[in-house]
A and B are shown apart, each in its own frame.
Chain A
Amino acid sequence: MPFILSANRLRDGAVVYFAQDNSWSERIEDAAAVPEDRVGKLEEAGLDAEARNHVVGSYAIEVAASCPPYSTRLRERIRSHGPTVGDRQTRTAVEDHQSRPMGGPEG
């Protein structure tokens, strides 16, 4: 299973993902997915961004090989889609839970 890199943005705490173009995106769809043998490189990019005070708490997440990347962990799905109970402004993970089985990704 591939891995993606996530963190919280320093300035506002928003959940962000390390993208193909070396930027940090709020959209999990933009996350760069790498095979397990390149996780070390991915984590180095996270530490570099932390050292440059762009993000905090970076870590690699194992995801299903799907588009967009799909984590089997509910915690990560809530981070990417927002609270399942709705936060009144953002789209919520409720739709995600309704459209996908809890146990794993579709197709």
Chain B
Amino acid sequence: MYVYDSLDKTLLNQRVAEFRDQVQRRLDGDLTEDQFKPLRLMNGLYLQLHAYMLRVAIPYGTLSSDQMRKLAYVAKTYDRGYGHFTTRQNIQFNWIELSTAPDLLYDLSEVDLHAIQTSGNCIRNVTADPYAGAAADELDDPRIWSEVIRQWSTLHPEFSFLPRKFKIAVTGSEADRAAIKFHDIGLKIVRNNEGVLGFAVYVGGGQGRTPIVAPLIKAFLPAPDLLRYLDAVLRVYNRHGRRDNIYKARIKILVDSMGADSFAAEVASEFNRLDPKLLSVRDDDVSRLRDMFAQPYLRPDPDSSSSFEDLVKKSPRLGPWFKSNAHPHKTPGYSIVTISLKPIGGIPGDATAEQMFGIADLADRFSLGEIRVTYTQNLILPHVRQADLFVLWQELERLNLATPNVGLASDIIACPGLDYCSLANARSIPISQRISERFANLNAQHDVGPLDIRISGCINACGHHHAGHIGILGVDKKGEERYQLTLGGQGNGESAVGKIVGPGFDEDGIVDAVETVVSTYLSLRTEGEVFSQTLARTGQDPFKERLYDNR
């Protein structure tokens, strides 16, 4: 993993001291709320419905066990004993006091964690494939390039006051597990015909009130030119982005209005003006980062997998968990294990301090001390020997973390919604809980197959509802919560925006509607077809008929 150097540590220490002074001046009345609000937001501290909320950056979703222990300590010491992992691969604490926030940030800085650039119109925390360094289909480790971007973008003076927030995602695999085309910039590591490493660059994707799948702006960008090209994209955006209208300020609106080709041409022109000597990514820097992210040698252990498969046959409950929660590792005999934070009827993404302490210990025992956070609000142990899977599963069961539902109907993405968020119009979490309970039968979920249900409590779409096979958007209609249903979104692998099916539903109706959609699919599917394939084949009409004909 990346280890902070003295420069990083000095920056963090100075930032904590600066914020401590700012908080004290606010409490003493030397700063007004208008003066203080942008300062606290620059440190990830929001004021939500019930309290201050702190959003902690987890760079490219990678955590060490010691960092996870510190997050558990924060949950226990400064919050109410739990934290909420988000669709930005971050963690949020919901019950923070302003007066103790500087102490909290000091504690986080001891393990190189912070909340810088988790808010505001700047380049936000970079996200990446959570299987980084472990996936068999990986061309290169996206963490290396994410860290290059982190260092370039941290406190970047030119890009600290952009027209709107700016999100970058990186994947090193063909299978997109970072939803890169729903980001302001999505980077996919590729090799050209000569075998040279570089990036396919997608610009102008996003969700919110104008969901757009990012177009390809450059098919091959040589890796050393990465920062120069990103700089050019940001400069064009900074110059032309709409600052007069918050709803039209994201880069997706600019790219859409200019057209992808015109935008790409202007970026190319800006790129040529920038001095390559200043912005080229140097080989020695990349080599240093490559060494930091190189995992210790894992001895291939093919016998381990066959003996484990025998065990699966003997234990009926282990089989479904292995099938949905374990993924092949690049090293024979190892697995990438997803820890579901979606217990049936639970709050998606929530983990208690005890669970976080437990996961940290399991990471040390079974996964080289490494943990990943997924944008689907689960956690990952990336390097688990298959011979250890049975014991790991038992330990996860003890922590109530062994739900075998990854990628299935109850693995629901949900934003905090109106229960916590001051922007929300409707609740998300209770809807997700009720749907999860409706599909509580795990055998039936496995029979239904891959199904991606996503819920947002407002049009800002933090719950990624546009990209769900089944998407739910909560709205306020004359003081009542209503829920719009969309079908056909894609966020894992493929990228597509779902389409609204018809009139919305009330709280009870939306849960029934989801069940109707699933039962319709089951009646329509052909042998081996998954939900998204059936929907693509039949279109929405048979689903609409079942949903609305009897209303």
Q: How far is the CB of A53 from chain B (nearest CB, A)?
A: 4
Of A8, A50, A85, A102, which contacts B47 at CB under 8 A?
A8
Residue of A nearest to B481 (CB): A74
B430 touches A87 (CB 8 A): no
Q: In the complex, what residues of B have CB within 8 A of residue A12's CB? A: 51-52, 97-99
Asked whether B50 is an interface residue with its Cβ less than 8 Å from the other chain, the reply is: yes
Q: In the complex, what residues of B have CB within 8 A of residue A8's CB? A: 47, 51
B433 touches A11 (CB 8 A): no
Of B81, B94, B419, which contacts A84 at CB under 8 A?
B419
A83 touches B420 (CB 8 A): yes
Complex interface bits, A1-23 against B, C-beta within 8 A gives 1, otherwise 0: 00000001011111100000000
Cα of A10 to Cα of B47 in the assembled complex, Å: 10
Asked whether B96 is an interface residue with its Cβ less than 8 Å from the other chain, the reply is: yes
Cα of A50 to Cα of B31 in the assembled complex, Å: 12
Interface of A is mostly: loop
Asked whether A89 is an interface residue with its Cβ less than 8 Å from the other chain, the reply is: yes
Cα of A88 to Cα of B429 in the assembled complex, Å: 15
The answer to whether residues A13 and B50 also contact, given A84-B419, A85-B430, A87-B95 and a CB cut-off of 8 A, is yes
Of A14, A53, A73, which contacts B27 at CB under 8 A?
A53
Q: How far is the CB of A11 from chain B (nearest CB, A)?
A: 5
Q: How far is the CB of B342 from chain A (nearest CB, A)?
A: 14
Cα of A14 to Cα of B28 in the assembled complex, Å: 18
The answer to whether residues A10 and B50 also contact, given A83-B419, A85-B347 and a CB cut-off of 8 A, is no
Asked whether A42 is an interface residue with its Cβ less than 8 Å from the other chain, the reply is: no
Q: How far is the CB of A7 from chain B (nearest CB, A)?
A: 11
Asked whether B82 is an interface residue with its Cβ less than 8 Å from the other chain, the reply is: yes
Residue of A nearest to B80 (CB): A89
Residue of A nearest to B99 (CB): A11
The answer to whether residues A85 and B429 also contact, given A10-B98, A12-B97, A75-B418 and a CB cut-off of 8 A, is yes
428-464 of chain B: CB within 8 A of chain A: 429-430, 433
Count class of interface residues, chain B: 20 to 34
The answer to whether residues A10 and B27 also contact, given A57-B47, A85-B433, A102-B480 and a CB cut-off of 8 A, is yes
Q: How far is the CB of B58 from chain A (nearest CB, A)?
A: 22
Q: In the complex, what residues of B have CB within 8 A of residue A15's CB? A: 49-50
Asked whether B479 is an interface residue with its Cβ less than 8 Å from the other chain, the reply is: yes
Asked whether B528 is an interface residue with its Cβ less than 8 Å from the other chain, the reply is: no
Q: In the complex, what residues of A have CB within 8 A of residue B99's CB? A: 11-12
Residue of A nearest to B50 (CB): A15
Q: In the complex, what residues of B have CB within 8 A of residue A82's CB? A: 50
Q: In the complex, what residues of B have CB within 8 A of residue A56's CB? A: 33, 47
36-81 of chain B: CB within 8 A of chain A: 47-52, 80-81
Of B27, B50, B427, which contacts A11 at CB under 8 A?
B27
Of A50, A53, A73, A79, which contacts B479 at CB under 8 A?
A73
A13 touches B430 (CB 8 A): no
B98 touches A52 (CB 8 A): no
B49 touches A52 (CB 8 A): no
32-78 of chain A: CB within 8 A of chain B: 50, 52-53, 56-57, 72-75, 78
Cα of A75 to Cα of B425 in the assembled complex, Å: 8
Cα of A74 to Cα of B476 in the assembled complex, Å: 10
Q: How far is the CB of A77 from chain B (nearest CB, A)?
A: 10
Q: In the complex, what residues of A have CB within 8 A of residue B50's CB? A: 13-15, 79, 82-83, 87
Q: How far is the CB of A26 from chain B (nearest CB, A)?
A: 11
A79 touches B47 (CB 8 A): no
Of A13, A79, A83, A84, which contacts B96 at CB under 8 A?
A13
Q: How far is the CB of B86 from chain A (nearest CB, A)?
A: 16
B418 touches A74 (CB 8 A): yes
Asked whether B26 is an interface residue with its Cβ less than 8 Å from the other chain, the reply is: yes
Of B27, B28, B49, B479, which contacts A78 at CB under 8 A?
B49
78-107 of chain A: CB within 8 A of chain B: 78-79, 82-85, 87-89, 102
Q: In the complex, what residues of A have CB within 8 A of residue B96's CB? A: 13
The answer to whether residues A87 and B94 also contact, given A14-B51, A53-B29, A56-B33 and a CB cut-off of 8 A, is yes
Cα of A57 to Cα of B36 in the assembled complex, Å: 13
Cα of A51 to Cα of B165 in the assembled complex, Å: 30
The answer to whether residues A88 and B51 also contact, given A11-B99, A12-B97, A13-B96 and a CB cut-off of 8 A, is no
Q: In the complex, what residues of B have CB within 8 A of residue A87's CB? A: 50, 80, 94-95
Of B33, B81, B418, B427, which contacts A50 at CB under 8 A?
B33
Cα of A72 to Cα of B480 in the assembled complex, Å: 10
Cα of A89 to Cα of B82 in the assembled complex, Å: 11
Of A13, A57, A72, which contacts B51 at CB under 8 A?
A13
Q: How far is the CB of A14 from chain B (nearest CB, A)?
A: 6
Q: In the complex, what residues of B have CB within 8 A of residue A83's CB? A: 50, 419-420, 429
A79 touches B49 (CB 8 A): yes
Which 3 A-B residue pairs are closest in the complex by CB-CB distance?
A83-B419, A12-B97, A13-B51
Known A-B contacts: A13-B51, A52-B29. Give 10 more (CB < 8 A): A10-B26, A10-B98, A11-B27, A11-B97, A12-B99, A13-B96, A74-B479, A84-B419, A87-B95, A102-B480
A–B Cβ pairs within 8 angstroms, 27 of them: A10-B26, A10-B27, A10-B33, A11-B97, A12-B52, A12-B97, A13-B47, A13-B50, A13-B51, A13-B52, A13-B96, A13-B97, A14-B50, A14-B51, A50-B33, A52-B29, A53-B28, A57-B33, A57-B47, A75-B418, A78-B49, A82-B50, A83-B50, A84-B427, A84-B430, A85-B429, A85-B430
